[in-house]
Structure 1
Amino acid sequence: MSADTVALAPTLDRDRTATLLGRTMGLVGLTAATFTLGAYLARGLSAGWGWLFFGATVACLLALNTAVKRSEPTAVGLLLVFGASLGAALAPTMAYYAGADPLGLVLAAGATALFITGFGAAGYATRRDLSGLERTLFWALVGLAIFGVVLIFVELPGGALVYAVVGLVVFAGLTSLDFQRLRRSGDIKTAPLLAASIFLDILNVFELFLSLFRGDAD
């Protein structure tokens, strides 16, 4: 291997990483657009339809894991359907918040943008391997989901606030981990799957901030 080849390798790696970053974030933007479209078109549907669309969302996400390895156009198509289905599933919730507190939506969106940018940049830039946190974050997320279900049936003083704060801590780790995966992968085929994961980070962080700004966590 020549000295020129050795010198060229890091440059090619950086180019692949930059391409993957641009591709992934572009797909995140497209997913956000289809999410918004789905939420708008399904704004008048009943909650029963929401469950149906949620099932379609899960199906798209599972199919996406397989499609990424076989066909990029299919994977991108599934990603966009995933965004639209998720938007339709959450349409009643989004419509409620938009009507009840538009300012809360704006504040939550701004806080989410700062949060994702900050922790995403930290995860992308750090040299420390964050993969060791993956199992811990997964079980923390499972625990958070269980706690959320408990709060539906049992009123705990300050429970909603604890849920929101702990949730933000968990998604700070998940966001950093996803952006580190983005930097370390370099495989453009993984862009749709990474975009789905990052979009879910964004959506969950947005909902957590929304509960804080609306005072649901009081």
Structure 2
Amino acid sequence: MFRSSLSTLASEVALHPGFVADPAEVRTFLGKVFTYMALALVLSGGVAYWFGHDMTMLAYLVDFNTGKQTILGWVVLFAPLALVFLMGGMVNRLSGTALLAVFVAYSALTGASLSYIFLVYQIGSIASVFFVTAALFGVMAVAGYTTKTDLTKLGSLLFIGLIGIVIAMVVNIFLKSDTMGYIVSVLSVVIFTGLTAYDMQRLKQVGSAVVNGTEMAQKMALMGALSLYLDFLNLFLALLRLFGSRKN
């Protein structure tokens, strides 16, 4: 849902192959997208580190006596998903400022929900995987921006694969299969690597159509940042599950 507004605008541009975009305007738009994305990653990382190293804060999310999540912990776990659907469903109704506020709240709550990685994995391993993710993400973003090949069909296949991964992850909650978990992680790397290139090409098309400085441009930049943020985050988590060094 949250990708639909971007896809619609990108499709409209694709229907007019004779349209020539101003490269400077496209770069300005993409600059805003990556600024929002970077700020979201910094906020999520900061909150995750805070909760992961402050037992008082973590106690709000996890009951240390039982090892299970508290009610607030469950809320924090599922709230980001609800906010993603809110942004996608209300993008045309919310003001640019309101949409930004929801994006900030989403980033902070996502950080809190990911605080467990600092309890499970060594800090050096987390940093190493982060930089590997950044490098891979950067390569695919450049590929998506520069390629002349239409990635629309690839995007459709990747979305189908993404649905399959989600179903497999839900099933594995009950099966608790290490083998299935490994397969899901490998497929996640492949799918989100591809989605990074696909989303980047689509955002380039959107940047060709929006008028920078308008509220709509801000909204599209925020939705684009959300797409790339999710690509980066899921790629990072998949690589961390595959190559992260766990604490003893």
| Common topology (TM > 0.5) | yes
Of 154, 159, 165 in structure 1, the residue corresponding to residue 180 of structure 2 is 159
Distance 1:158 1:107, change over 3 A: same
Pairs aligned (count):
204
Aligned: 1:124 with 2:124:
no
Aligned ranges 1:71-150 → 2 under 5 Å? 71-91=95-115, 93-97=116-120, 100-150=121-171
Please tell me the residue identity of whatever aligns with 1:208: A
Please tell me the residue identity of whatever aligns with 1:95: F
Q: TM-score, normalised by structure 2?
A: 0.74
Q: Which structure: greater helix fraction?
A: 1
Q: How far 1:155 moved relative to its partner?
A: 5.7
Distance 1:180 1:50, change over 3 A: farther
Tell whether the 8 Å contact from 1:61 to 1:82 is kept in structure 2 after alignment.
yes
Distance 1:101 1:41, change over 3 A: closer
Q: How far 1:135 moved relative to its partner?
A: 2.5
Tell whether the 8 Å contact from 1:60 to 1:82 is kept in structure 2 after alignment.
yes
Q: How far 1:41 moved relative to its partner?
A: 4.5
Aligned: 1:176 with 2:206:
no
Q: Distance in 2 between matches of 1:73 and 1:55?
A: 23
Partner of 2:65: none
Partner of 1:50: 73
- Cα deviation digits, residues 119-176 of structure 1 (max 9, x gap): 1111111111112223321120111122223334336574333222211111111111
Q: How far 1:66 moved relative to its partner?
A: 4.4
Partner of 1:5: none
SS in 1 for 2:149: coil
Tell whether the 8 Å contact from 2:122 to 2:245 is kept in structure 1 after alignment.
no
Tell whether the 8 Å contact from 2:129 to 2:236 is kept in structure 1 after alignment.
yes
Q: How far 1:40 moved relative to its partner?
A: 3.8
Q: Distance in 2 between matches of 1:62 and 1:76?
A: 14
SS in 2 for 1:127: coil
Q: How far 1:22 moved relative to its partner?
A: 0.4
For the aligned residue pairs, the C-alpha RMSD in angstroms reads 2.2
SS in 1 for 2:22: helix
Aligned: 1:212 with 2:236:
no
Of 188, 192, 200 in structure 1, the residue corresponding to residue 222 of structure 2 is 192
Q: TM-score, normalised by structure 1?
A: 0.83
Give the stretch that moved more between structures: 200-209 or 32-41: 32-41
Q: Distance in 1 between matches of 2:82 and 2:173?
A: 26
Tell whether the 8 Å contact from 1:116 to 1:175 is kept in structure 2 after alignment.
yes
Please tell me the residue identity of whatever aligns with 1:204: N
- Cα deviation digits, residues 45-80 of structure 1 (max 9, x gap): 312333201332123212222453342111111111
Give the stretch that moved more between structures: 34-43 or 105-114: 34-43
Distance 1:153 1:62, change over 3 A: closer
Distance 1:155 1:95, change over 3 A: closer
SS in 2 for 1:73: helix
Distance 1:64 1:143, change over 3 A: same
User: Matched residues, percent identical?
Assistant: 29
Tell whether the 8 Å contact from 2:125 to 2:245 is kept in structure 1 after alignment.
no
